[in-house]
Amino acid sequence: MLNIALDGPSGSGKSTVAKIIAKKLDILYLDTGAMYRACALEALYRGVNCLDEGAVESFINEIDLKIVYENGAQKTILRGEDVSQKIRQNEVSMMASNISSLPCVRKKMVEMQRDVARGVDCILDGRDIGTHVLPDAEFKFYVTARPEVRAERRYKELTEKGQTVEYDKILEEINVRDYNDSHREFSPLRQAADAILLDTSEMTIDEVTEFILSKVKK
Ligand code: DC
C-alpha cells in the first residue's frame, strides 16, 4: 500500500503538488483541509460560533458531509450541495482554523479520513497526516515556505479567482492561522519526526513535485 502524507502550513503549495502527484501516480488524493472548511460552513449555516464547543459537538457527528470524486477530482458535498468553491472563500479559512481546534471535530474528521484512505494507494494533505491520521505512511513530507511567500501565493490565487483581497491582510491571517494551527492542544501542525522537510520558498511547483516523486520512486 502506498500512503503519502503531505503536511505543512497554508499556502505552502502542498495541495497543488499533491494533486499533480496523485495524477502522475494514479492514486487517490484527499485534501483534508476541505473537510474542516466544510465543517466551518456547516457552523455558518447553523449560525454557530466555530469555537463554541458545545454547539459544534451537538451537530458534528450528524454532519451530512461526503467526499466524492469526479474524473479524479475531489468534490466536497455538504447537505447534498457541491460546496467545493464556497469553502475556498477567504472568510471560511479563519473559521476552518478555529473549528479544527476542537477535539470533537478532529475526531470525526480523522475517522472519515481514515475511511477514505483505508486499503487504497493515496496521498493526503493536511496538518496532522504524518503525525496522527496516517502515522505509518511510507512517505512523509513537511512542506513549508516563508510566510511572505505563502501570502503572495494566496493573494495571487484569490485575485485570479476574482476575489478582492489585500496582501497585508492575507499575510496577517496566514500568521494568525499558523499560530492557531501549530499551538492547538489536539494534534497541532508539526513536522513528523520521520518526515522530510522541504522549504519551497525558492522552488517552483515542478521542482517540488519532482523532488517528492524522486523520493517515492526510489
Ligand atoms: O489546508 P487548508 O488551508 O484548506 O485547511 C483549512 C484549515 O483546516 C487550517 O487552518 C487547519 C485545518 N486543518 C487541520 O487542522 N488539519 C488538517 N489535516 C487539515 C486542515
| pLDDT in the model for residue 20 | 96
3-class secondary-structure state, position 87: helix
Q: Write the pLDDT tens digit of every residue in 151-164.
A: 999 899 889 988 88
Res 89 pLDDT > 90? no
Distance 126 CA to ligand 1 centre (A): 6
Among protein residues, the one whose CA lies closest to atom 13 of ligand 1: 33
Q: Which grid cell sits at 28?
A: 487517490
Average pLDDT over residues 89-116: 94
Q: What is the residue-averaged pLDDT of the chain?
A: 95
> Tell me, what DSSP letter sits at residue 161?
T
Among protein residues, the one whose CA lies closest to atom 5 of ligand 1: 33
| pLDDT in the model for residue 59 | 98
Q: How far is CA 164 from CA 40, 68, 100, 167, 172, in A?
A: 21, 30, 26, 10, 16
Residues at CB less than 6 angstroms from ligand 1: 10, 32-33, 36-37, 93, 96-97, 100, 126-128, 177, 181
Q: Which of 17, 42, 89, 97 to mutate to test the pocket of ligand 1 (most atoms within 8 A of CB)?
A: 97
Res 218 pLDDT > 80? no
Q: Which grid cell sits at 111?
A: 475517522
Quickly list DSSP for the chain.
--EEEEE--TTSSHHHHHHHHHHHHT-EEEEHHHHHHHHHHHHHHHT--TT-HHHHHHHHTT--EEEEEETTEEEEEETTEE-TTGGGSHHHHHHHHHHTTSHHHHHHHHHHHHHHHTTS-EEEEESSIIIIISTT-SEEEEEE--HHHHHHHHHHHHHHTT----HHHHHHHHHHHHHHHHH-SSS-S---TTPEEEE-TT--HHHHHHHHHHHHH-
| pLDDT in the model for residue 158 | 86
Please state the pTM of the whole predicted model.
0.94
Res 217 pLDDT > 90? no
Phi and psi based region of residue 187 (left: phi greater than 0; alpha: psi -120 to 50; beta: remaining): left
**What atom of ligand 1 comes closest to residue 133's alpha carbon?**
18
Q: Write the pLDDT tens digit of every residue in 167-207.
A: 999 999 999 989 999 999 888 999 999 999 999 999 999 99
| pLDDT in the model for residue 105 | 98
Q: Write the pLDDT tens digit of every residue in 29-76.
A: 999 999 999 999 999 999 999 999 999 999 999 999 999 999 888 999
Query: With bands split at pLDDT 50, 70 and 90, how would you rate the model's confidence at 90?
Result: confident
Which structural domains are found in the chain, ordered by start?
3-206 (3.40.50.300)
